[in-house]
Amino acid sequence: MKVQIMTDTRFGNGTKLAETLKGKFPDNYDVKIADVKEVSAEKVAEDVPDVIVLGGAVRMFMGDKKTIKWMKELNNCLKKSGKNIKYGTGFLTHALPTDKVQGYAKRFLEKINNTSAIEKTYSELLTARVEGQEGPILPEEMEKAINYAQSFITWCE
């Protein structure tokens, strides 16, 4: 199984979270991490991963605009080639308390769910609160991420 984890990070918290998720996948999964600013949707669409994790951050009271744009491009590229990705989910890092970002999380997950080239979307988006604006991710949020990864991987299997 090929897994592609995408981030849009400024201070490295998204990458840290992606690495934590990667570490939970069994050895028979080939997991790659890339930033949407560096790797094009076209390239990932050519690779056709089995699993995609679309990560970003809440900024300026919005879910991640760059990742959402990238997700649309991915869908267009996959549709053109007639290929699908089997499983999808996502994550958002944020500075606000967790209960204040549930709306962003819901809308971000809906966007993944509406990406027609992703066949099945996991029922929950991972959110991870950072300390201040720049992080690091709070320790209890890292624990939450580990549990989330385990549930998500079980769901994919």
Ligand X SMILES: Cc1cc2nc3c(=O)[nH]c(=O)nc-3n(C[C@H](O)[C@H](O)[C@H](O)COP(=O)(O)O)c2cc1C
Stretch that binds ligand X, among 20-28, 89-97, 111-119, 142-150 (CB under 6 A): 89-97
Q: Does 75 bind ligand X (CB under 6 A)?
A: no
Cis peptide before 26 (omega within 30 of 0): no
60 with 11: CB under 8 angstroms?
no
Q: Does 127 bind ligand X (CB under 6 A)?
A: no
Stretch that binds ligand X, among 29-37, 58-66, 71-79, 118-126 (CB under 6 A): 58-66
Q: Does 61 bind ligand X (CB under 6 A)?
A: yes
In the complex with ligand X, the residue whose CB is nearer, 57 or 71, is: 57
Q: Does 102 bind ligand X (CB under 6 A)?
A: no
CA distances from 15 to 10, 46, 113 (A): 9, 23, 23
Q: Does 90 bind ligand X (CB under 6 A)?
A: no
